[in-house]
């Protein structure tokens, strides 16, 4: 990287780091807050679903805008507005007017803003560094993001447990505003040749072009089919099943729950450091394949550990905590080996002028089934013992990987467009 690239990349990373610390604080505290308000897994699942649906609807349009407008300006604006909304939640908590309706409405707004921010951010990184530095830049970005998310959950559990939700909102709101301030100093010029003109026909044609590009690529097409089913099961497990199990079934404190979230992100950090230092030149397909198989095995181990027969063998809640924490950390490492090679592949093959809209379309397709999974699992946890749900999810994930194992071996992660 030259001097300007290093400066821009540093500001980009600092902005992400500050906002992610705040988001990590709120990410841990929010499900605990909803559980403490309602005691209902169904309502927690409903909140998780509401958090995702607006993003899935808006993301394709956000991607179109991200290719036609200045990505830096979108990032800065979205951070400022999100900060103001979250500080409003802090005020509502202070005056005692916070409730599920207020949380649901503001979460819809934040989810929409997240879509515009995410489309601009993911597409902007390849403009800040050279293609030869992309793997290292992604690993550094993910490592620093993971470090921020390690701090966030620990602080979230402590702050929520000691000071309540008001201070969680205050810190997260301030973090977004500080992030926007940092991003303002990035030297960035819009490089896409697309005009800023927007109408229904342009949006439709751009979305059609994105879908055509995705489904004519053999790797993308098969990744999507596998990921839809995996995300239907895996994401709701983290968003709904883990918080409910750790808080309501095992009885972990907010601080312990925050530490467990930290172990997951610590694993992602370690995984990305390993990728940057030791595996940056390794074949992406092998990294991805090993990550998938490792994730499946560790997920099954967690399901077995949470069976009552095994839980009863632990002599204290801290011994359960240590075992689950170690497994979550290892799962985080496998997550890095899955996501980083895929991200690099996308960034290398997708042209700059189409990057935002295709990234957004991919995000929507990958996550399309997740809201349904969140709602269904949220309803089930109020009616079925959680260890059976964990076991069923683990077996279904194994089945999905078995079905797609041959496809994984046939995938070519070299940066070319295949139309098999």
Of 34-43, 201-210, 256-265, 298-307, the poorest mean pLDDT is in: 201-210
Residue 12 lies in a domain: yes
| pLDDT higher than 60, residue 312 | yes
- Rounded CA separation 33/244 (Å): 12
CB proximity list for 84: less than 8 A, separation 6 or greater: 173, 177
CA distance 75 to 28: 24
Which residue in 302, 288, 305 sits closest to 401, CA to CA?
A: 288
Neighbouring residues of 42: CB distance < 8 A, sequence distance ≥ 6: 378, 379, 381, 382
- Under a CB-based contact definition with an 8 Å cutoff, are residues 388 and 396 in contact? no
Count of structural domains within the chain: 1
DSSP output for 134-191? HHHHHHHHHHHHHHHHHHHHHHHHHHHHHH-HHHHHHHHHHHHHHHHHHHTT------
pLDDT digits (tens, 9 = 90+) for 222-254: 777 777 777 788 888 887 888 888 888 888 888
Across 15-50, b (16+ Cβ under 10 Å) vs e yields: bbbbbbbbbbbbbbbbbbbbbeeeebbbbbbbbbbb
Alpha carbon 68 to chain centroid distance? 25
Q: pLDDT for 371-417, tens place per residue?
A: 778 778 878 887 888 889 989 988 988 888 887 777 666 666 555 44
119 located within any domain? yes
- CATH number for the domain spanning 150: value is 1.20.1250.20
Is the predicted pLDDT of residue 323 greater than 90, yes or no? yes
Residue 415 lies in a domain: no
> HSE-up of 45 (CA within 13 Å, CB side)?
23
What secondary structure does DSSP assign to 111-124, as a single string? HHHHHHHHHHHHHH
pTM of the predicted structure, to 2 decimals: 0.68
If you average pLDDT over residues 13-33, what whole number do you get? Answer: 78
Residue 74 is part of which domain span?
3-188+200-410
How far is CA 192 from each of CA 283, 364, 388, rounded to the nearest angstrom?
30, 22, 50
Structure-model confidence comparison of residues 262 and 215, the more confident one? 262
Three-class SS state of 2: coil
Helix and strand element counts for the chain (H, E): 16, 0
Assigned domain for 33 exists: yes
Is residue 418, in this structure, part of any structural domain at all? no
Residue 259 has pLDDT above 80, yes or no: yes
Which range, 69-73, 150-154, 291-295, has the best average confidence (pLDDT)?
291-295
In a domain, 218, yes or no: yes
Exposed, middle or buried, 70 (CB in 10 Å: 0-12/13-18/19+)? middle
Q: Is residue 169 part of a domain?
A: yes
| 364 φ, ψ (degrees, to nearest 5) | -65, -45
Please check the confidence at residue 85 and state whether its pLDDT lies above 90. yes
Q: 417 lies in a domain?
A: no
Q: Which residues contact 34 (CB under 8 A, 6 or more apart)?
A: 43, 44, 47, 100, 103
């Amino acid at each position: 990287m030259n001097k300007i690239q290093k400066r821009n990349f540093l500001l980009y990373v600092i902005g992400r780091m500050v906002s992610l610390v705040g988001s990590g604080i709120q990410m841990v505290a929010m499900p605990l807050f909803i559980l403490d308000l309602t005691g209902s897994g169904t309502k927690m699942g409903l909140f998780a679903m509401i958090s995702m649906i607006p993003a899935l609807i808006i993301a394709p349009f956000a991607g179109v805008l991200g290719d036609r407008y200045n990505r830096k300006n979108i990032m800065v604006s979205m951070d400022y507005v999100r900060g103001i909304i979250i500080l409003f939640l802090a005020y509502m908590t202070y005056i005692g007017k916070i409730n599920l309706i207020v949380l649901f409405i503001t979460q819809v707004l934040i989810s929409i803003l997240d879509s515009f921010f995410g489309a601009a951010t993911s597409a902007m990184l390849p403009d800040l560094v050279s293609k030869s530095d992309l793997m290292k830049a992604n690993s550094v970005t993910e490592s620093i993001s993971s470090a921020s998310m390690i701090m966030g959950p620990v602080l979230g559990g402590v702050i929520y447990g000691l000071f309540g939700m008001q201070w969680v909102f205050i810190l997260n709101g301030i973090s977004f505003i500080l992030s926007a301030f940092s991003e303002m100093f990035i030297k960035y010029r819009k490089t896409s040749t697309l005009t800023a003109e927007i109408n229904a026909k342009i949006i439709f044609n751009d979305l059609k072009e994105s879908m055509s590009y995705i489904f004519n690529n053999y790797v993308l097409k098969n990744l999507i089919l596998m990921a839809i089913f995996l995300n239907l099961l895996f994401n709701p497990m983290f968003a709904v099943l883990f918080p409910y199990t750790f808080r309501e079934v095992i009885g972990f404190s907010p601080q312990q729950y925050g530490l467990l979230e930290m172990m997951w992100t610590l694993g992602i950090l370690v995984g990305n450091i390993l990728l940057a230092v030791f595996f940056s030149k390794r074949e992406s397909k092998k990294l991805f394949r090993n990550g998938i198989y490792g994730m499946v095995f560790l997920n099954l181990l967690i399901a077995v550990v949470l069976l009552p027969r095994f839980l009863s063998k632990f002599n204290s809640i801290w011994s359960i905590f240590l075992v689950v924490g170690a497994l979550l950390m290892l799962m985080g490492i496998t997550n890095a080996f899955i996501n980083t090679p895929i991200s690099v592949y996308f960034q290398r093959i997708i042209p700059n002028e189409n990057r935002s809209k295709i990234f957004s379309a991919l995000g929507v397709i990958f996550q399309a089934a997740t809201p349904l999974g969140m709602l269904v699992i949220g309803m089930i946890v109020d009616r079925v013992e959680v260890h059976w749900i964990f076991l069923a999810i683990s077996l279904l994930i194994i089945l999905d990987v078995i079905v797609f194992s041959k496809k994984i071996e046939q995938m070519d992660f070299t940066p070319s467009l295949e139309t098999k």
